[in-house]
Amino acid sequence: MGCFLAAAAGQFSWPVAGLSVLTTILLQVLSNFANDYGDAVNGKDTELREGPRRAVHSGHITAEKMLRAIILFSALALISGIALLTIALKDAPANTFWVFLGIGIACIFAAITYTAGKRPYGYVGLGDLSVLIFFGWVGVLGSNFLHTHAWNWGLLLPATSCGLFAVGVLNINNIRDIDSDRATGKNSIPVRLGREKAIVYHWCILLIGMLCVTVYTAQHFSSYTSLIFFLSFPLFVKNGLAISRLTKASELDPYLKQMALSTLLFVILFGIGIVL
């Protein structure tokens, strides 16, 4: 999203885009490894969990080896991020590099401490806020700045859409695991709200996400091609309807992927619409 917005402003850079994507992928892998490790060593992965079995808990990899993988991907994400900043900010003031390096370190820290460490913030219901901040605001505004060297606070609207749709993926995961999370003391938002209110919360996530990008497009309307992202909206409605009626983990699991792919399609359609 950040790259598409930069391209629409005529300030796109392929090296910046490529390294942004690489750094993001490394951070996502790091987050998944840390989540697997943290839930296992903190006793949150038990036989009560209904989703796919995790690598550490199932014994496919030891906690020590997973910890080494976490350290490795932390280093790789840091190296990729520094390379990105070196290229993107070579003509920017020196303090800008250090600010973004601090943001990058915060991304790594957030990826690890979601479920790992002594006080994982994911266990007290703050995972949703973290996803909104890092998958939405930091991801979109930060990557856009690396292209343009300027803050555009109006981009908070599409950034919020991206962040909320990412929260939607997490919320489906937490609704699926609500019973096992409650039993092990993992107080996710669905555990705190209960299943019925968590479904209402899911609809709020979807509807506000769709509303934010619609408002942004209305404010910056230039041609009807900018409206093609509406083609992705039925997929979000389909997701909400499925989460509303399905209760079994095996039935909910496919809609994690469906939500993620719907978000990707939304971003691609939005990007095509504003670039053309």
Res 2 pLDDT > 70: yes
pLDDT average, residue stretch 57-70: 90
Is residue 47 scored above 70 in pLDDT? no
At residue 48 the predicted structure's pLDDT band, cuts being 50, 70 and 90, is low
What is the pLDDT averaged over residues 219-231?
94
Q: How far apart are CA 19 and CA 143, in angstroms?
A: 10
Q: The pTM is what?
A: 0.93
Average pLDDT over residues 137-157: 95
SS3 157: helix
Query: Which pLDDT belongs to residue 27?
Result: 95
175-180 long-range contacts (CB < 8 A, ≥24 apart) are 175/199, 175/202, 175/243, 175/252, 176/50, 176/51, 176/249, 176/252, 176/253, 176/256, 177/49, 177/50, 177/51, 177/249, 179/48, 179/50, 180/44, 180/46, 180/48, 180/49, 180/50
Looking at residue 258, what is its pLDDT? 97
Q: Cβ of 163: how many Cβ atoms within 10 Å?
A: 28
pLDDT surpassing 80 at residue 71: yes
Q: What is the pLDDT of residue 257?
A: 95
CA 10 – CA 73 distance, rounded (Å) = 33
pLDDT score for 46: 65
Please count the other Cβ atoms lying within 10 Å of the Cβ belonging to residue 54: 19
Q: pLDDT class for 247, splitting at 50, 70, 90?
A: confident
State residue 50's pLDDT score. 64
Tokens for 149?
């060297």
Choice between 181 and 7, residue whose per-residue pLDDT is larger:
7
Query: Are 64 and 41 within 8 A, CB to CB?
Result: no
